[in-house]
Structure 1
Amino acid sequence: MIQPTKLLKFIVLFIFALTISCESKKEKTASSTTEKSSTIKEESFKLWTWITAEKTRTDESFDEEFEKYGDNGLDAILINTYGDPELLARLVPIAKKHNLEVHAWMFTMNRPGDKIAEQHPEWYAVSRDGKSCFDEPPYVGYYKWLCPTRKESREHVLSLIEGLVKVEGVASFHLDYIRYSDIFLPIGLLPKYDLKQETELARYDFCYCDVCTSEFEKEHHKNPKDFRNPAIDMEWKNFRLNKVKAIVDEAYKITHENGKQLTAAVFPYPEMADHMVRQRWDKWQVDAVLPMIYNVFYNEEIDWIGYATKQGVEDLKGKDTELHTGIYVPEMTPEQLKEAIYQAKSNGAKGVSFFDGPAITDDQWRVISASQNP
């Protein structure tokens, strides 16, 4: 027969053990819930779009546009305000109302309509045949490229970036045209300009201004203007790649000092960007890249989007840079758009961005909305 005292001790110990067991189960359940939540967050696939905002538009018209984006599953909008921080500040609360992140998108080294830059013709990039983008822009009239080496033009661009990142509620500054002018156009665009580009042509090879060539000569003891074939001089090529990188590095400091991130629209994958526009984005300090994998510009099929996405993801291994695939929606059928999103997602992209918001059709919106429901 069990003594009353021993029975009491047994009951107390039993209750204590039961309590510990329950608490342990609660902790495991909580831990499991946290892990599940973390996994969901990590596996979320982000949807963006690029848009251009005109300050003459009403708040009501922006509200209607942003509501469509939010209702169809978009997470973020990249807004080009032509470098205007006041317009950006006006749009942030409207976008937030529809749960949209706002990213300040700006043409960086290509500065059409820049009234301050236009007062300084010497700031503009010069081609190998001596033509300045100020007087004779290559390809199209809005190709007004600034020299990335010249102190004044570089500081001007960085001051515009700082003005935009100081706007409250902005998630990132988004670099666009962060490169030199196209040495080679996408093959699908060549007929439009009646061009054949099989070598690096002098008219499209930048920048040979006095500041660039003298700085290079001081460092490497040779002048690019004297080269018979500049395309094969790796120091000259690297010099220009590094001038673009230096601006990106400075932009990264500015954005992070202001509590914002740095994102960039870039060419499809690093080796291609290097070849076409002197842009080696896998070597940059940047939080996210949105490569413009516009297959139609390159006469490529939809599966090329997967190929280029995978190439970029591989080149970014070991870096803290996310890749979100840029998709060009005009001329895409809903079925092609669905496949494009699949190609990006299955090849390692963290999301996709659509160019551009106003061009998306109702049928395409249905595809985009459905893509958020696996």
Structure 2
Amino acid sequence: MRQGINLLLLLLVLATSCTNPQKETASKKVENTKQPFKYWTWYGAGHTVPDSIHIANFKKFAKHGIDAVLIDTRADADRLSKIAPFAIKAGLEVHAWMFTMNRPGDSIALQHPDWYMVSRSGKSCFNDRPYVDYYQWLSPSHPEARQHIWNLVEGLAKVEGITSVHLDYIRYPDVYLPVGLLPKYNLVQNEELPDFDFDYSDAAVEKFQKKYGKNIKEIEVPAIDIEWKQFRLNEIKAVVDGAYEIAHKHGKKLTAAVFPYPEMADHMVRQRWDKWQIDAVLPMIYNNFYNEGLDWVKFASEQGIRDLEGKRTQLHTGLYIPEMSAEEVKNAIETVKESGAAGVAFFDIKETHYKTIKASKK
């Protein structure tokens, strides 16, 4: 009897050892299946632009190798539902691009001055905006402002045929500008300046005090209060995670335009995107804004990929190309491919770039 049992166990072990490698191999094949390298572009669908122009532009994108288009309709879902079919018919994947925390000219938000972020110097984005006039930032700590953003996400997510809702300006205003832009504003930013350090709105200050038991306005040097910094990172994360749930509820993905890599984004705009629930990020690795070359594009892409290790979030490198020659665009695309990114996104394609972009797909 014992011999019979031993023989049975031996057969079971042999059977298991014969079948497991096949399963493991099949599993590895699935894991290692890579998606084609994707080409994206951002596109503003102005309300005064005729449909015939949009149709022509979408056809041009598709003809020259673009796979996905991020369409800005000012978060107008009805407008997107009319424009998106033109892009889909042209063979493009459509993503609904929206301004998120920065909501310039938002007719609903403008009825609520208390929804807006406030600087350490006491200036509200409602009527006293940092850097440029279109910087009208809502506070992620104000529950009604947050819900307003989620309502906009849901409206876009309901549009048939789109692939994702794409969050832009999903952060705080720039604590530090890219070094290449500082001369434009005649600024020196060697520390966190009061006019560019947000959010000291009542909603944020009260929420922070309730959670941590201290009034941030009474802290002598807020910049070194780690809990205050983490609080703001978490407030943005909460908006993103909520948007993720909404988008997925409607069968859509969530994507976002972000700063070059998480540590840098954390430092510059209170944005730690490697901690978010999100399907894909398009870091804006605009090297000329930082007085950097293509080696930095590769470094920043690789750094972001490392920070996302173990997550399902894809990284597609964003390039700012209007000032690049065709040859520079070609080299930039190759650099992004070498970095291991899942794709490349072009901001402001010029006529001189199209042939290069198409040729690079071969």
**TM-score using structure 1 length:** 0.88
2:8 maps to: none
Trace 1:123-142 onto structure 2 (pairs within 5 A): 123-142=115-134
State the partner residue of 1:372. Answer: 361
| 1:312-340, Cα deviation, whole Å (9 max, x unpaired) | 00000000000000000111111211111
- Cα separation, partners in 2 of 1:332 and 1:123, compared to 1, 3 Å: same
> Root-mean-square deviation (CA), in Å?
1.6
Q: Find the aligned partners of 1:339 and 1:223 in 2 and give their Cα distance.
A: 51
Aligned mates of 1:123, 1:48 — CA distance in 2: 33
Of 296, 300, 311, 1:304 maps to 296
CA-CA distance at 1:48 after TM superposition: 0.4
Indicate which of 205, 215, 222 corresponds to 2:197.
Answer: 205
Q: Which residue of structure 1 aligns with residue 87 of structure 2?
A: 95
Q: CA deviation at 1:361?
A: 2.6
Q: Distance in 2 between matches of 1:367 and 1:307?
A: 23
Give 1:223's match in structure 2, choosing from 205, 215, 219: 215
Which residue number corresponds to residue 58 of structure 1?
Answer: 50
Residues 303 and 340, structure 1, Cα contact 8 Å, conserved in 2: no
* Secondary structure of 1:42 counterpart: coil
Alpha-carbon distance in structure 1 between the residues aligned to 2:213 and 2:235:
18
1:68 paired residue number: 60
* 3-state SS of paired residue (1:50): strand
SS for the counterpart of 2:101 is coil
SS of aligned partner of 2:40: strand
Inter-partner Cα distance in structure 1 for 2:102 and 2:350: 29
Counterpart Cα distance in 1 of 2:212 and 2:103: 30
1:172 corresponds to 2:160: no
Following the alignment from structure 1 to structure 2, what is the Cα–Cα distance between the partners of residues 315 and 158? Answer: 27
Shift of 1:362: 3.0
> Cα 1:39–1:341, aligned 2, differ >3 Å: closer, same or farther?
farther
CA distance in 2, matches of 1:325, 1:171: 18
Structure 2 residue aligned with 1:152 = 144
The 3 A distance-change label for structure 1 pair 280 and 224 is same
Q: CA distance change for structure 1 residues 219 and 70 in 2, over 3 Å: closer, same or farther?
A: same
| Unmatched runs of 5 consecutive residues or more in structure 2 | 1-25
* 1:1-374 matches, cutoff 5 A: 42-356=34-348, 360-373=349-362
1:265 counterpart SS class = strand
State the shift of 1:56 in Å: 2.2
Provide the rounded CA distance (Å) in 2 between the counterparts of 1:41 and 1:369: 24
Q: Deviations over 1:40-76 (max 9, x none)?
A: 9725110000011112222211111111000001100
User: Partners of 1:121 and 1:73 in 2: how far apart?
Assistant: 44
Tell me the distance in 1 between the aligned counterparts of 2:237 and 2:201: 19
Counterpart Cα distance in 1 of 2:128 and 2:82? 36
- Unaligned ranges ≥5, structure 1: 1-33
Q: Distance in 2 between matches of 1:333 and 1:114?
A: 37
SS at match of 1:170: coil
Distance 2:108 2:205 in 1: 25
Give the deviation of 1:97 after TM superposition: 1.4
Aligned 8 A contact 1:92 1:102 in 2: yes
CA apart distance, 1:96: 1.3
**CA distance in structure 1 between the partners assigned to 2:198 and 2:278 by the alignment:** 24
> Where does residue 8 of structure 1 map in the other structure?
none
- Name the residue aligned to 2:3: none
Distance 2:232 2:355 in 1: 43
User: SS where residue 175 of structure 1 aligns?
Assistant: strand
What is the aligned-residue identity percentage? 57
Q: What are the Cα deviations for residues 232-252 of structure 1, in whole angstroms up to 9, with x where unaligned?
A: 111000000000000000000
* Bigger mean CA offset, 107-116 vs 42-51: 42-51
Query: How many Å apart are 1:92 and its aligned residue?
Result: 1.6
Give how far 1:231 is off: 1.0
Report the alpha carbon displacement of residue 294 of structure 1 after superposing the two structures with TM: 0.2
Q: CA deviation at 1:290?
A: 0.1
The number of residues matched between the two structures is: 336
Work out the CA distance in 2 between the residues paired with 1:87 and 1:350: 30
Task: From the superposition, tell whether residues 69 and 41 of structure 1 become closer, same or farther in structure 2 (CA, over 3 Å).
Answer: farther
CA distance in 2 between partners of 1:237 and 1:222 (Å)? 14
> Within 2, Cα distance between the matches of 1:63 and 1:38?
37
Q: CA deviation at 1:39?
A: 10
AA aligned to 1:362 is E
